[in-house]
Amino acid sequence: MTQPGIELQELIATMEQRRRKVEEGGGPERQQKQREGGKLTARERIERLLDPGSFLESSTFVEHGRNRLMDGIEAPGEGVVTGSGTIDGRQVFVFSQDFTVLGGSLGKMNASKVTKIMDLAAKTGCPVIGLNDSAGARIQEGVDSLSGYGEIFYRNAVYSGSVPQISAILGPCAGGAVYSPAITDFILMSRGSSYMFITGPEVIKSVTREEVTFDQLGGADVHTRKSGVAHLAYEGDEAVIDGIKDLLGYLPQNAREKAPVKPTSDPADRRNEKLLDIVTPDQRRPYAMQDVIRELVDDGTFLEIQPDWAKNIIVGFARLNGQSVGIVANNPKALSGSLNIDASDKAARFIRTCDCYNVPILTLVDVSGFLPGVQQEYGGIIRHGAKMLYAYAEATVPKVTLITRKSYGGAYLAMNSRDMGADVVYAWPTATVAVMGAEGAANIVYRKDIKDSENPAATRAEKIAEYKEAFDNPYVAAAKGYIDDVIPMEETRERLIRTFEMLANKEETRPFKKHGNIPL
C-alpha cells in the first residue's frame, strides 16, 4: 500500500534508482578492474550470449541472507545476474556470476536466484547456461552458503539428461564450486583468465609442499589436455560465449525434442573422391580421421569436443543434410587408434550425451584393439572399457557404424558392432575385421608350423597370406550379416544421409528399471 502523499512518479523513480544500483553491481571501479583483467562483466556476457533485447531478468531485487557477519555489507544483485532470453530464437535460461560483488561468492540467496531459473528451465524444457566467475562459498555465510551449493548440485543432477546444461568458466572456480559445472553436460573455459581446482596452490603447498601456479594447477589447458575435466578452451570471454552458441545449435531444447535442422547448400549426393587419397589399404599409413569426417559432413564443419585430450578417440558434432549427428571415431594417428582408459571414458560420456538428447550417433572404426600395458590394467581398463560397451548398448538413438580400415578384437565390439546394437553397419573395401591383425594371428595360430618349417620366413609369409585370405577383409563379416553392406568410398556421404533418414523415426524400448548401473 502506498503512503499518502507519495506520487506515482516518485515510486517509479525509486524503482529505477534501485534497478540502476543493482545493474551497477560492485561499481565502476571493480568493473574496470574486471575489464583490465581481459574479462567482460556479468551483464556484458549475457548481452553477448543472447539475441539482442531478449534478456528477461529474474529475481532482480533479491538481497543477501542477513546474518551478523553480513550486517552492513552491500551486495547489489546478490553477486549473480539471472534470467531467460533467446539464442537464435530458442529460449534458454542463464545465470552469470558477478565477480565485482563480493567476488561473485555464493551465499544462500545468490543460490536461490540460480535454482529459481534452473527450476524454470526444467519446467519449460529449456537449456541452462552457467557463466561462472566466483570465489566460491561466501565465507561470511558459513553453512548457508554450503547449503546453497547443495541446492544447485542437486538440481544439476536431477535435471541432467532432461535439459542441456552448459558451463562456461570465465574466472576463478574453486573448492566445491567446481562440482556444479562438473555435473553439467559441457564445460568451456577461457585461457589465461579462468581456473578450476578443489584446493588452491596455497593449500597444496602447505600439505604436499608442491609449488604450482593457479594456471598450472587448473587453467584451461590443464583441463582440456591433462585432466579431461573441461571440453573446450578458447581465447577470451567472447570466444567462449560464441562457442556456447555454436554448441547449442547441435542440441535440442530438451530430452523430448530433436536438434534443430540447419539447412545446407552442400548436396546430399556430393561424391567423396577425396577419401580415396586419404585412406589407403596400407595399414602402416596413418591418416587423420578428422579429414575423413570433414569430407563426409555438411560444409566440412566438425565441432570436435575434447580435441586435445585422449586424442586416440575423436568425438564431436557435425550435420548430415542439416541433421545433427554425434561422431565417435578412432584416430589412427594417435596410439594407432587403440582404445585406452581415457579414450573409453571420453567416448562413453559422449555417447551418453548424444543419447540423452536424441542426437544420432555415427561411429567410424579404425581400431587396432585395447592398448596393452601394465599401467592400463592397473588403472582399470576393464572397468573403463566396459563403459563404452555399456554406453553403446544403452543408447537408443539411431546408430550407424562405418568400418574404414581395421577393426580387431574387443575393440571391434566396443566400437559399436552389430551385436552391441548398431542399427546399420557399413564397411569400405579397405576394411578388415578379425580377432587381430594377420601377422599377430599367424604367429600364434601357426607358431608350431613356422618353427618346424625348413624355411620359417616363407612359411610365416604363407600363413599370414592364408589368414588374410580367410579373415582380413570385410566379406567374411558381411557374409555372416555382421556388416550390412560394403560400400564405395565415394558414395559414403549420400549413403550415410539416406541411412540416417531411414532411421529417423526409430524407437526402442527397454525393460523397466530405475536406471542402469554403468560401471564408473
Q: How far is CA 360 from the centre of its chain?
A: 15
Q: Which residues pair with 173 in a beta bridge?
A: 134, 196
Q: Is 109 or 135 the residue whose CB approaches ligand HXC more closely? A: 135
Q: Residues 138, 231, 349, 495: which binds ligand HXC (CB under 6 A)?
A: 138
What residue is closest to ligand HXC based on CB?
176
Q: Is 69 or 465 the residue whose CB approaches ligand HXC more closely? A: 69
Element at 19 (helix H, strand E): helix 8-24
146 binds ligand HXC (CB under 6 A): yes
Tell me, residue by residue from 171 to 190, as one string, x for binding to ligand HXC by CB under 6 A and - for no binding: -x-xxxx-------------
At 93, list the grid cell: 535460461
> 3-class DSSP state for residue 69?
helix
Helix axes 381-394, 341-356, angle to 10 degrees: 20
Phi, psi of 145 (to 5 degrees): -75, -35
At 215, list the grid cell: 594456471
Phi, psi of 82 (to 5 degrees): -130, 155
410 is catalytic: yes
Q: Which residues pair with 82 in a beta bridge?
A: 58, 95
Q: Is 105 or 336 the residue whose CB approaches ligand HXC more closely? A: 105
Least distance (Å) between residue 510 CB and ligand HXC: 34
Q: Which of 200, 228, 410, 421 is catalytic?
A: 410
Residues numbered 13-32 forming contacts with ligand HXC, rule: CB under 6 A: 30
Residues numbered 259-288 forming contacts with ligand HXC, rule: CB under 6 A: none
Q: Residues 137, 220, 325, 403: which binds ligand HXC (CB under 6 A)?
A: 137
148 binds ligand HXC (CB under 6 A): no
Are β-strands 165-174 and 90-97 bridged in parallel, bridged antiparallel, or unpaired? unpaired
Cβ atoms within 10 Å, residue 81: 27
440 is catalytic: no
Q: Residues 127, 136, 252, 369: which binds ligand HXC (CB under 6 A)?
A: 136
5 is catalytic: no
105 binds ligand HXC (CB under 6 A): yes
Least distance (Å) between residue 150 CB and ligand HXC: 7
Q: Enumerate residues 6+ apart whose C-beta is below 8 A from 275.
A: 292, 295, 489, 490, 492
Question: Does residue 394 contact residue 352 with C-beta atoms inside 8 Å?
Answer: yes
Least distance (Å) between residue 44 CB and ligand HXC: 18
Burial of 455: CB neighbours in 10 Å, binned 0-12, 13-18, 19+: exposed
53 is catalytic: no
219 binds ligand HXC (CB under 6 A): no
Calculate ∠ Cα 398-404-406, nearest 5°: 115
At 518, list the grid cell: 554403468
Q: Which of 136, 148, 175, 437 is catalytic?
A: 175
At 341, list the grid cell: 582408459
At 460, list the grid cell: 610365416
Q: Which of 42, 391, 411, 422 is catalytic?
A: 411
103 binds ligand HXC (CB under 6 A): yes
325 binds ligand HXC (CB under 6 A): no
Q: How many residues bind ligand HXC (CB under 6 A)?
A: 17
Q: Residues 6, 139, 158, 518: which binds ligand HXC (CB under 6 A)?
A: 139
Give the interface with ligand HXC as residue ranges (CB under 6 A).
30, 102-103, 105, 135-140, 146, 149, 172, 174-177
Catalytic residues: 175-176, 410-411
